């Protein structure tokens, strides 16, 4: 079965609000990355975590290997945050297992 | 259930040698198919996409070519590898109806020496 379950598949937020995306893992992962897809289809790396939390501007990510999940928090959402976000987890064989994406829409 | 298989897992090749990477999707008819490339970690650039058999669109020019000989198969290749081709290659598919969700293979790590 799927080793990475990403939720929600779609999310709509009003400007200035916040929410969280989540990836659950069916097995222990070594690390997790979060990406955002740009207008050309490229996937821009937002975070790489082997443990703990990282923050960058209005984005914050957490990874708990033992509890088998990672989150990406967005606060004070802006229109330009709209897009599709992906998590990718590194398993014990250093293979990347991807979530299937969250389409985020920010409304004025 | 749909499955995506990408091969090989890793390759070490000499400069000037040919390359062929493959990707097969099972359990889904007429998917959109994509090739991505990551040089040194960070951004995964979209190289090619295909919405149907025999049609491939290039997004980034890297002296590589792609083909879709069958509905469920996507091939990335070149006649002569360059050092700059080293990196991580990832195949993905999405449903025809929506290209927002992507389903990825495990990737191929290519080292060109």
Question: Do residues B23 and B91 touch, judged by C-beta distance below 8 A?
Answer: yes
Per-domain residue ranges for chain B?
3-112
Mean pLDDT of A35-48: 88
Task: Flag whether residue A17 sits within 8 Å of chain B, measured between CB atoms.
Answer: no
From CA A88, how far away is CA A32, in angstroms rounded?
Answer: 6
Q: What is the pLDDT of residue A12?
A: 96
Count of Cβ atoms closer than 10 Å to residue B9 Cβ: 12
Task: Give mean pLDDT, residues A30-46.
Answer: 89
Q: What is the mean pLDDT of chain B?
A: 91
pLDDT at site A2: 58
Phi, psi of B84 (to 5 degrees): -70, -5
The more confident residue out of B3 and A61 is A61
Least confident of A93-97, B40-44, B52-56: B40-44
Instruction: Answer yes or no: is pLDDT of B64 > 70.
Output: yes
Contact status of B104 with chain A (Cβ, < 8 Å): yes
Q: Chain A neighbours among B 57-96 (CB < 8 Å)?
A: 59, 90, 92
pLDDT for A84 equals 93
Contact indicator for A19, A34 with CB cutoff of 8 Å: no
The Cα B26–Cα A70 span in angstroms is 29
For range B54-67, the mean pLDDT: 92
B21 beta partners: B76
Q: Which of A44, A45, A84 sits opposite B100 (nearest CB)?
A: A84
Residues of B in contact with A100 (CB under 8 A): 101-103
Residue-level pLDDT at B68: 97
DSSP letters, B46-111, are EEEEEEETTEEEESS-SS-EEEEEETTEEEEEESS--GGG-EEEEEEEE-SS-SSS-EE---EEEE
Q: Cβ distance A93 to A3 under 8 Å? A: no
Asked whether the beta carbons of A82 and A95 are under 8 A apart, the reply is no
Strand ranges (DSSP E) for A1-108? 4-7, 10-14, 19-25, 31-37, 43-49, 52-56, 59-64, 69-74, 83-90, 96-98, 102-107
pLDDT at A1 over 80: no
Write out pLDDT tens, residues A62-103: 999 999 999 999 999 999 999 999 999 998 887 888 998 999
Provide φ and ψ at A96, rounded to 5°: -90, 125
pLDDT at residue B99 is higher than 70: no
To the nearest whole angstrom, how far is the Cα of A17 from the nearest Cα of chain B? 23
Contact A58, A48 (CB under 8 A): no
Q: Give the per-residue pLDDT at B44.
A: 86
Instruction: Determine what percent of chain B is predicted with pLDDT higher than 70.
Output: 95
pLDDT of residue B41: 67
B7 touches chain A (CB under 8 A): no
**Across residues A30-38, what is the average pLDDT?**
92
For chain B, what is the radius of gyration of the CA atoms? 13
Q: Which pLDDT score, from 0 to 100, does residue B69 have?
A: 97
Strands A83-90 and A69-74: unpaired
CATH code of B3-112, in short, is 2.60.40.10
Question: Is the Cβ pair B44, A42 closer than 8 Å?
Answer: yes
- Residue B98 pLDDT: 61
Enumerate domains of chain A plus CATH numbers: 4-107 (2.60.40.10)
Q: What is the pLDDT of residue B42?
A: 72
Q: Mean of the per-residue pLDDT values for chain A?
A: 93
């Amino acid at each position: 079965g799927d080793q990475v379950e990403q939720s929600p598949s779609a999310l709509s937020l009003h400007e200035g609000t916040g929410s969280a995306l989540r990836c659950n893992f069916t097995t222990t992962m070594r690390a997790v990355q979060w990406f955002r897809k740009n207008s050309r289809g490229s996937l821009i790396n937002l975070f790489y975590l082997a443990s703990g939390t990282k923050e960058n501007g209005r984005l914050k990510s957490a990874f708990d290997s033992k509890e088998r999940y990672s989150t990406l928090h967005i606060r004070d959402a802006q229109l330009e945050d709209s897009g599709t976000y992906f998590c990718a987890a590194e398993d014990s064989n250093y293979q990347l297992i991807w979530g299937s994406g969250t389409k985020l829409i920010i409304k004025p | 259930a749909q499955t995506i298989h990408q091969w090989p897992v890793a390759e070490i090749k000499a400069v000037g040698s040919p390359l062929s990477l493959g990707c097969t999707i099972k359990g889904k008819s007429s998917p959109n198919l994509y090739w991505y490339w990551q040089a040194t970690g960070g951004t995964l650039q979209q190289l090619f996409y295909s919405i149907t058999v025999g049609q491939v669109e290039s997004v980034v020019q890297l002296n590589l070519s792609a083909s879709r000989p069958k509905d469920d198969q996507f091939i990335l290749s070149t006649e002569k590898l360059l050092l700059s081709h080293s990196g991580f290659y990832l195949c993905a598919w999405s449903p025809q109806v929506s290209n927002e969700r992507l389903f990825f293979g495990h990737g191929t790590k290519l080292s060109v020496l």
